Structures are given as C-alpha cells and as structure tokens.
A = this chain, B = another copy of it.
Amino acid sequence: MKKGGEMKLSTTIRYGTRLMLDMAENQQNGPIRIRTIAKRQGISEKYLEKIVRLLRKAGLVDGLRGPGGGYVLASSPDSITLGEILEAVQGKIELCPCLGEPEKCEKHQYCKTRMVWNDINHAVSTRLHSTTLADLRDSVCPAETRME
C-alpha cells in the first residue's frame, strides 16, 4: 500500500540554483568554467552544461567560448531572483494543470480546490521572486546544520 506523489524540487532547479550561487560567490576572477563548478559542487559536468544552457537562453548568464572562456552572471546578484532561475530551468511555476488552462476546469468542485492550489502557487512564486541571489549569498547558515 504505497503512497502517491512526492512534490519534490527537481535536480535542475536545485543544481541550477547552486550553480548560480557558486557564480555569485566566485565570479570576481572572470569567467568560470562549467567544469570548475561541476567539480566544486559534485555534479556531473555534462548535466550541468545542459542546465547552464537554459540559464543562458533565459539571459541570466553570458557564455564566453574558447580558452579562458566560461560563464559570467549577466547582471548583478541583487537583481537576479530565485524565481527567475526557476522559470529559466523549468518554466512558469504551475502546481496543477488546470491553473494554466482553466477550460479544463469544468466542474464546480474542481474550481474550489483549484482556488487553493492557485493560492499556494502564488505564495511560492512570490517568495521566490522576492529572494535574490545576493540575499542567498549573504545569508548565514545556522551552525547546527553546517558541516563544512
């Protein structure tokens, strides 16, 4: 009698965020290679490449090719939000199908449940869009959970 869905954050989001934070913390010495971040973060290089390309396409980072190349943040860490990162790698946050396409919402009852999901969706979205990379970078990790 196993239980159902998990509602987890995907690795694209978690890795993408760590990647951006890594860049915010280390970009003072020019472009950073994906290989470097991959090693530092313990993430597959190829997979990170795939993720960073989404961030690039969204205009959050710039890529510089050739020797000495790498990636740099396209703007200041205090103007990049977690919401932007999330949307870059996974699209608009949409907790259930009917939120994007209300025509699927044919029954009165769906509509009531839909309102709750919509609220929560909105709360999460707001929270993410009001947290910047700089906020994250400057935050302090509580001692109990830190193990560096």
> Measuring CB to CB, which residues of chain A are less than 8 angstroms from any residue of chain B?
1, 3-14, 16-18, 21-22, 25, 41-42, 51, 53-54, 57, 82, 89-91, 93-97, 102, 105-117, 119-120, 123-124, 127-128, 131, 136-137, 139, 141-142, 145-148
Name the residue on B nearest A114 (C-beta): B145
Query: SS class of chain A's interface: helix, strand, loop or mixed?
Result: helix
The reply to whether A5 and B1 contact each other, CB–CB distance below 8 Å, is: no
Complex A-B: 11 CB contacts under 8 Å: A1-B54, A4-B16, A4-B51, A5-B12, A7-B7, A9-B95, A21-B109, A21-B113, A111-B145, A113-B136, A120-B128
CB-defined contacts of A13 to chain B, threshold 8 Å: 4-5, 7
CA separation between A122 and B89, bound complex, in Å?
A: 23
Copies in the complex: 2
Q: For the complex formed, measure the closest distance between the CB of A40 and the CB atoms of chain B, giving whole angstroms.
A: 9
5 tightest CB-CB pairs across the interface, nearest first? A5-B10, A4-B12, A111-B141, A108-B148, A4-B90
The reply to whether A96 and B5 contact each other, CB–CB distance below 8 Å, is: no
Q: For the complex formed, measure the closest distance between the CB of A27 and the CB atoms of chain B, giving whole angstroms.
A: 14
The reply to whether B4 and A108 contact each other, CB–CB distance below 8 Å, is: no
CB-defined contacts of A4 to chain B, threshold 8 Å: 10-13, 16, 51, 54, 89-90
The reply to whether B146 and A111 contact each other, CB–CB distance below 8 Å, is: yes
